[in-house]
Structure 1
């Protein structure tokens, strides 16, 4: 379900947070759905359990998940959103970035900077 890139400049916990955000926004993670236990996910991704816990805490602070002892981590955030306009804009951005011979990392950096 989740993948991380250890060679990326983006911290591992932020990669996990981003994947959950997208999963919720696209409706792949539904309200009430339980996420894997932190220890289980850390083992599956071969990362420290504190990395997963930090991601889960960020998501909790954003209101996307609820952390309950004994219940685990449950999606509580927004339901599926229409991302078609964003997906069209991204397709155009990708075409332009490729035409300019920008790497995916350089393109991502430009997007992150523009969103600050």
Structure 2
């Protein structure tokens, strides 16, 4: 797993760390039951504060993608598989919309109107 951040980005570093891990989950590079690197390992590798990594892990926990357990660390949860499936369905929807000539903006508006 390769976590990527851009120090010059206006996006908070913890959001970037969480987004990178989320991407790895969606693409299947990490799957249910996989352990994420410790916060200390990530912080050391990226030269950032360990609390920044912990905040990213907590965000992923709040989204239901990661289980945090003392002594076990961060483990990809069972609900992460659903995110992978959903991502595949979204890719299919985007491809179908493109075939029909529906713009990304129109598709996004349709999805937004459909949301509960």
What is the TM-score with the length of structure 2 in the denominator?
0.71
Partners in 2 of 1:41 and 1:87 — Cα distance? 33
Residue in structure 1 matched with residue 101 of structure 2 by the alignment? none
Distance verdict in 2 for CA 1:30–1:8, change over 3 Å:
same
Quick check: which one's helix share is greater? Answer: 2
Q: How far is 1:87 from its partner?
A: 6.9
SS of equivalent to 2:14: helix
Q: How far is 1:78 from its partner?
A: 2.0
| CA-atom RMSD in angstroms | 2.3
Distance verdict in 2 for CA 1:18–1:88, change over 3 Å:
farther
Distance verdict in 2 for CA 1:25–1:40, change over 3 Å:
same
SS of equivalent to 1:74: strand
Q: How far is 1:84 from its partner?
A: 2.8
SS of equivalent to 2:11: coil
SS of equivalent to 1:59: helix
Residue in structure 2 matched with residue 49 of structure 1 by the alignment? 50
* Matched positions, count: 93
Residue in structure 2 matched with residue 108 of structure 1 by the alignment? none
Partners in 2 of 1:14 and 1:63 — Cα distance? 16
Q: How far is 1:28 from its partner?
A: 1.2
Structure 1 stretches of 4+ with a deviation exceeding 6 A read: none
What is the TM-score with the length of structure 1 in the denominator?
0.71
Partners in 2 of 1:10 and 1:87 — Cα distance? 26
SS of equivalent to 1:63: coil
Residue in structure 1 matched with residue 92 of structure 2 by the alignment? 85
Residue in structure 2 matched with residue 97 of structure 1 by the alignment? none
Which string of whole-angstrom CA distances, capped at 9 and with x for unpartnered residues, describes residues 28-76 of structure 1? Answer: 1100000000011100011000100000001111110011111110000
